[in-house]
C-alpha cells in the first residue's frame, strides 16, 4: 500500500502569501505527474484509492484547494474563485517540476483544469474533466448552494457521517468502507463538535447566483474550453444534473474535441474509488 506524503507550498494571492497543502503518492522522482483536484467541498484525500493504483506508474499529487483540508483559509471570500485556484496550482506545478503533467479534475477541479489548460504555454498534456463542462446547470448550482457553507455541527461522528452521506447520494452506490472514507475525509472535530473541513466562506459565491450571471460565466468557460490543446477526456455520471448530454456533445465537437465516457448508475459526480472507474483513467493516461 502506498503512503501519502503531505507537503505544503507557498503561493501568492492579491492579499498576500498562503500555504497550499498537497498529498503525494508514488516515486517522488517520477517525472510523469498526475495532478488531481477535488470538487467544491471535497479534499485531496478523495484520490487515495486512485493513487493506490496509478501511483505504481505515476507520481500522483492531489491538492487541498485554498480554504479546504490542510490548506490556508483566505482572508477575503471573493478570492474563492477559479482564477485564484489556478494561481495556486501554477505555484504547485512549479514546485513539482514535472517533465510530463496530466490533470484530473472533479467538478470544480475540472473548471480549474480548464482555466489552467487554456493558458498559452501551459504544461498540461492530458486533461480529464470529471462530470463538468463549460455549461453549468443553474438548478444544479442551486442544489449545491443549499448546503455549501451553511453552519452545521454535530455532536457525534455518526451524525456528521450521515449528513455528508445524505448530501453525497448522487455519488451512487458504494461499500460501507468506501462511504467511511468519503465522509471522514471531509470532517474535523472542533470544540467537541464535528463540522465540515472547509471555510464556510466558500459558499458566499452562491448567495448572489442568478441565471444571468451563470450564463455570463458559461460564455467565459466556453472561450476557455475552445482554447484547450490538451488531449481531453470527459467523464459524465449517467444521472448528472450538472453536465447534460447537449453540453457533452458540444464538448465532443468543439475545442479539444474530447473523448466522452458515461458512468452508469451515478449522478454528480463519479468518485473514482471503484476499479472500473480507475481503469478509465489508466487507459487514457498510460
Provide, rounded to the nearest whole percent, the portion of the chain with pLDDT above 90: 94
* Residue 286 neighbours by CB distance under 10 Å: 11
Average pLDDT over residues 272-277: 98
Predicted local confidence at residue 149, as pLDDT: 85
DSSP H helices in the chain: 48-54, 82-96, 108-117, 138-145, 157-167, 176-184, 211-226, 245-253, 275-285
Q: Is the pLDDT of residue 206 over 90?
A: no
- pTM over 0.85? The answer is yes
Residue-range domain boundaries for the chain: 5-148+205-285
Strands 5-13, 16-25: pairing is antiparallel
Predicted local confidence at residue 207, as pLDDT: 83
Predicted local confidence at residue 208, as pLDDT: 80
Residue partners of 208: CB distance under 8 A and separation at least 6: none
Q: Is the pLDDT of residue 199 over 90?
A: yes
Predicted local confidence at residue 198, as pLDDT: 98
The backbone torsions φ and ψ at residue 162, rounded to the nearest 5 degrees and listed phi first, read: -65, -35
DSSP state for residue 56 in the 8-state scheme:
T
In contact, 110 and 42? CB cutoff 8 Å: no
Burial state string for 263-273 with b = 16 or more CB within 10 A and e = fewer than 16: beebbbbbbbb
Per-residue pLDDT tens over the stretch 135-183: 989 999 999 988 898 889 999 999 999 999 999 999 999 999 999 999 9
Residue partners of 184: CB distance under 8 A and separation at least 6: 157, 161
Q: Is the pLDDT of residue 118 over 90?
A: yes
- Closest of 250, 259, 262 to residue 221, by C-alpha: 250
The Cα–Cα gap between 252 and 259 comes to: 6
Average pLDDT over residues 96-117: 99
Residue 93: which pLDDT band, with cuts at 50, 70 and 90? Answer: very high
Residue partners of 205: CB distance under 8 A and separation at least 6: 77, 80, 81
Per-residue pLDDT tens over the stretch 41-77: 999 999 999 999 999 999 999 999 999 999 999 999 9
Residue 251: which pLDDT band, with cuts at 50, 70 and 90? Answer: very high
Predicted local confidence at residue 228, as pLDDT: 99
Q: Is the pLDDT of residue 209 over 90?
A: no
For the chain, the average pLDDT equals: 97
CATH number, span 5-148+205-285? 3.40.50.1820
Amino acid at each position: 500500500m502506498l503512503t501519502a506524503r503531505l507537503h505544503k507550498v507557498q503561493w501568492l494571492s492579491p492579499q498576500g502569501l498562503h500555504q497550499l497543502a498537497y498529498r503525494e503518492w508514488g516515486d517522488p522522482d517520477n517525472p510523469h505527474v498526475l495532478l488531481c483536484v477535488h470538487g467544491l467541498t471535497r479534499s485531496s484525500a478523495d484520490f487515495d484509492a486512485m493513487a493506490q493504483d496509478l501511483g505504481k506508474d505515476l507520481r500522483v499529487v492531489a491538492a487541498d484547494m485554498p480554504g479546504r483540508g490542510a490548506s490556508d483559509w483566505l482572508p477575503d471570500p471573493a478570492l474563492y474563485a477559479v482564477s485564484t485556484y489556478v494561481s495556486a496550482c501554477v505555484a504547485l506545478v512549479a514546485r513539482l517540476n514535472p517533465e510530463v503533467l496530466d490533470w484530473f479534475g472533479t467538478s470544480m477541479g475540472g473548471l480549474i483544469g480548464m482555466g489552467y489548460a487554456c493558458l498559452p504555454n501551459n504544461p498540461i498534456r492530458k486533461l480529464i474533466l470529471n462530470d463538468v463542462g463549460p455549461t453549468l446547470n443553474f438548478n444544479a448550482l442551486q442544489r449545491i448552494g443549499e448546503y455549501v457553507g451553511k453552519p452545521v455541527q454535530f455532536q457525534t461522528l455518526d451524525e456528521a457521517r450521515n449528513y455528508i452521506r445524505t448530501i453525497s447520494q448522487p455519488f451512487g452506490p458504494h461499500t460501507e468502507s468506501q462511504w467511511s472514507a468519503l465522509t471522514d475525509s471531509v470532517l474535523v472535530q472542533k470544540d467537541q463538535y464535528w463540522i465540515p473541513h472547509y471555510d464556510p466562506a466558500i459558499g458566499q459565491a452562491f448567495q448572489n447566483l442568478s441565471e444571468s450571471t451563470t450564463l455570463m460565466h458559461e460564455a467565459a468557460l466556453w472561450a476557455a474550453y475552445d482554447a484547450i490543446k490538451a488531449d481531453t477526456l470527459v467523464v459524465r455520471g449517467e444521472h448528472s444534473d450538472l453536465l447534460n448530454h447537449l453540453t457533452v456533445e458540444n464538448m465532443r465537437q468543439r475545442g479539444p474535441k474530447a473523448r466522452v465516457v458515461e458512468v452508469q448508475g451515478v449522478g454528480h459526480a463519479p468518485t473514482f474509488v471503484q476499479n472500473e472507474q480507475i481503469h478509465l483513467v489508466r487507459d487514457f493516461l498510460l
